[in-house]
């Protein structure tokens, strides 16, 4: 069961702030005047992505789309190309659609109420809390995985932190701790504290400013908290990938506009490995009028991990015997020098480095 909040009669936020004042990270999205659009972009990028990975992507993004209006006016292909490498591409699509909605419905101003901002595509409770507190100074808490972990340890919460009831309890506990008018600082302090001290597997308790208050630490079980339920086995898919060159071009395919890696470009793939995968890929190529040689050179075997599945790829350089130039619209012969002009699906962008 969740422990009662009266364990901490003191406002421990002051201890957290003392630590934060000394150890606050310098990040490109932390400016003196917080732009709601830039806060929004950074929070979407940081979802399931490490800070160090996000930094260069954020800076390039803001250079390319410095304002909400410039992003709204961009094509989806440009948006996906700029996002390429960050993964979870639905984040970019949702952000793009949402800023268009802000331009249409709110005259280009990011809404400053929870109800309105959560009506935008891709914005949930956490992102709404982050934008409202950091950009607008609203007393809203932002509860993500970091915050769940911190509160689970502080209050020694034994229940699965992914349960809605537990998340709501943590939200209430956090809301009580927010000093009036300082929710933005409180949320940022928790973000840094969860990234630098109260880390997932090996928390650095000796330097923790809250260790004397932490129930999990007192009971010696901080490494076992939080509990997230049993991990599900992630399915593995095997694919045979063909790099088929004709002159200075390679054959590429645009994925459907719905589903995994929607509308992004890839090299042709056949399901399976070994003879099965080669047969499936050959059949696919025959269907579009492309004939290939039987001598295939293995370039590389590559693993790509999604949140819900794993791709195991066998990547082959395949000589082209006959290349149909009258292809369906989702297929094209892409000039090698134009590699950087299309958004690549998942691991396919890295395949270009093999050529």
Say whether 161 sits in a helix, a strand or coil.
coil
CB 299 within 8 A of CB 315: yes
Pair of tokens at residue 222: 């901080």
48: left (phi over 0), alpha (psi -120 to 50) or beta: left
- Cβ neighbors of 22 (< 8 A, separation 6 or more) are none
Pair of tokens at residue 131: 């934008």
Place of tokens 């599900």: 232
DSSP 120-138: STT--HHHHHHHHHHHH--
Q: Exactly one of 18, 26, 31, 43 is catalytic; which is it?
A: 43
Cα–Cα distance between 124 and 249 in angstroms, integer?
Answer: 43
Cα–Cα distance between 72 and 244 in angstroms, integer?
Answer: 36
- Cβ neighbors of 26 (< 8 A, separation 6 or more) are none
Residue 125 is a catalytic residue: no
User: Nearest Cα to 268, choosing from 173, 345, 184, 191?
Assistant: 345
CA distances from 310 to 70, 107, 235 (A): 35, 42, 6
Cα–Cα distance between 28 and 26 in angstroms, integer?
Answer: 7
Pair of tokens at residue 200: 């997932």
Say whether 188 sits in a helix, a strand or coil.
helix
Helix axis angle for 76-83 and 51-64, nearest 10°, is 150
Report, as residue numbers or ranges, the catalytic residues.
43
């Amino acid at each position: 069961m969740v422990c009662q909040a009266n364990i901490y009669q003191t406002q421990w936020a002051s201890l957290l702030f003392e630590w934060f004042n000394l150890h606050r990270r310098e990040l490109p999205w932390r400016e003196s005047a917080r732009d709601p659009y830039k806060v929004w972009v950074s929070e979407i990028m940081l979802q399931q992505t490490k800070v160090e990975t996000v930094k260069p992507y954020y800076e390039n993004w803001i250079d390319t789309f410095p304002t909400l209006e410039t992003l709204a006016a961009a094509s989806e292909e440009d948006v996906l190309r700029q996002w390429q490498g960050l993964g979870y591409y639905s984040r970019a699509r949702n952000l793009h659609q949402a800023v268009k909605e802000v331009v249409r419905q709110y005259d280009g101003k990011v809404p400053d109420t929870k109800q309105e901002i959560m009506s935008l595509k891709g914005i949930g409770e956490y992102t709404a809390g982050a934008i409202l507190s950091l950009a607008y100074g609203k007393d809203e808490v932002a509860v993500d995985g970091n915050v769940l972990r911190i509160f689970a340890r502080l209050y020694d919460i034994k229940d699965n932190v992914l349960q809605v009831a537990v998340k709501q309890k943590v939200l209430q506990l956090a809301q009580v701790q927010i000093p009036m008018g300082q929710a933005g600082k409180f949320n940022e302090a928790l973000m840094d504290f969860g990234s630098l001290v109260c880390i997932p597997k090996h928390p650095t308790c000796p330097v923790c400013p809250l260790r004397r208050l932490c129930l999990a630490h007192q009971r010696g079980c901080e490494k076992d908290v939080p509990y997230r339920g049993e991990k599900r086995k992630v399915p593995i898919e095997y694919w045979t990938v063909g790099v088929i060159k004709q002159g200075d071009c390679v054959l590429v395919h645009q994925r459907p506009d719905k589903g995994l890696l929607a509308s992004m470009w890839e090299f042709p793939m056949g399901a399976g490995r070994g003879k099965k995968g080669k047969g499936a890929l050959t059949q696919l190529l025959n269907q579009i009028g492309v004939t290939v040689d039987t001598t295939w050179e293995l370039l590389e075997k590559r693993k790509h991990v999604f949140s819900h599945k794993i791709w195991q790829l066998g990547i082959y350089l395949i000589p082209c015997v006959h290349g149909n130039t009258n292809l369906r619209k989702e297929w094209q012969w892409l000039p090698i020098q134009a590699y950087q002009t299309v958004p690549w699906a998942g691991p396919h962008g890295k395949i270009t480095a093999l050529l």
